[in-house]
Amino acid sequence: MKRYFLELSYMGTGYAGFQRQENAKTVQSELEKALQTLLRQPVVLTGSSRTDAGVHALQNYFHFDLDVVLNERLLYNLNAVLPGDIAVRNLHLMPATAHSRFDAVSREYRYYIYRDKDPFKRDRAYYFPYQLDMESMQQAALMLMDFADFTSFSKRNTQVKTFICRLERSEWTVDGAGGLVYYVKGNRFLRGMVRALTATMLKLGRGRISLEEFRAIVASRDCTKADFAVPPHGLFLEKVNYPDLYFKG
């Protein structure tokens, strides 16, 4: 049995999320269906990082096991049968012990906000044309790296054993068109976490909570105190990182 990693990107607008669900169209179900069509046998995929309904990914990975030698021709064939909003990028033959989720050392996300109405950004960023205190938002973003427990920013009923996450970077930037981008990199993320961080910092930027109140929300470990009210289409899983030379072994 051989283990393969498949790298892909997708627009999440038309999907109920990344992971397979009953009676719902997901990225995983579309890819499994395409693989079964081409390989004429069921293929079970394991994902590196889940994304919620409507969230996009510039890079994500699956791994799967198959007793067949595959080559990069599979990429061409997959892209020919997959929907236009999913693209496969690379296929890697890996050691049998490699795991797309557990071997990943970090993930990088960006949440995009635009300030001037633009019909070409409406499904890839959040239209938020309000005055914001960027200095306070930047202080809050940096403050997050002082914490490890992010229970306050996890959706309820999530099946995780720990709410501990290690953030390596957390910052706001302004893009060339005057839009805002929240960038965060960490070893793992909880369900809804990046959107909750973004929404709560926007609340701070609007002056509806203070920096001290923001810190208290993080420390409270109470998800009812955070704000989750930003839409999914502004969020991109940008990169999944593995150890150096991971794909060259």
| Mean pLDDT of the chain, nearest integer | 95
Last residue of a domain, which of 76, 102, 128? 102
Question: pLDDT, tens digit, for every residue of 15-60?
Answer: 999 888 888 899 999 999 999 999 999 999 999 998 999 999 999 9
- Whether residue 249 is contained in a domain is answered as no
> CATH number, domain at 30?
3.30.70.580
Asked if the model's pLDDT at residue 228 lies above 70, the reply is yes
Task: Report the alpha-carbon distance of residue 112 to residue 105 in Å, rounded.
Answer: 24
- In the prediction, which pLDDT does 249 show? 58
- In the prediction, which pLDDT does 235 show? 98
Last residue of a domain, which of 70, 102, 134? 102
Taking each helix axis as running N to C, give the angle between helix 193-205 and helix 211-220, from 0 to 180 degrees, rounded to the nearest 10.
160
Residue 52 appears among annotated catalytic residues: yes
> CATH number, domain at 205?
3.30.70.660
- Whether residue 13 is contained in a domain is answered as yes
Question: pLDDT, tens digit, for every residue of 91-141?
Answer: 999 999 999 999 999 999 999 999 999 999 999 999 999 999 999 999 999
Q: Do 94 and 188 share a domain, yes or no?
A: no
Give the CA-trace dihedral at 144, 149, 153, 155, to 10 degrees: 160
The helix (H) or strand (E) run that includes residue 9 is strand 2-10
Structure tokens at 38: 């081409």
How is 28-92 classified by DSSP, letter by letter? HHHHHHHHHHHHSS----EESS---TT-EEEEEEEEEEESS---THHHHHHHHHS-TTEEEEEEE
Q: Do 64 and 114 share a domain, yes or no?
A: no
Task: Report the alpha-carbon distance of residue 97 to residue 164 in Å, rounded.
Answer: 25
Q: Do 121 and 218 share a domain, yes or no?
A: yes
Sort 206 into a burial class: Cβ within 10 Å, 0-12 / 13-18 / 19+.
Answer: middle
Of 52, 149, 175, 244, catalytic: 52
Total domain count, the chain: 2
Q: Do 90 and 202 share a domain, yes or no?
A: no
Do residues 177 and 114 lie in contact, with contact meaning Cβ atoms separated by under 8 Å?
Answer: yes
- In the prediction, which pLDDT does 19 show? 87
Q: Scan for tokens 């999913």, then name that residue.
A: 86
Q: Do 35 and 153 share a domain, yes or no?
A: no
- Whether residue 74 is contained in a domain is answered as yes
* CB contact set of 68 (below 8 Å; sequence gap of 6+): 2, 39
Last residue of a domain, which of 67, 102, 137? 102
- Whether residue 245 is contained in a domain is answered as no
Range of the domain at 54: 2-102
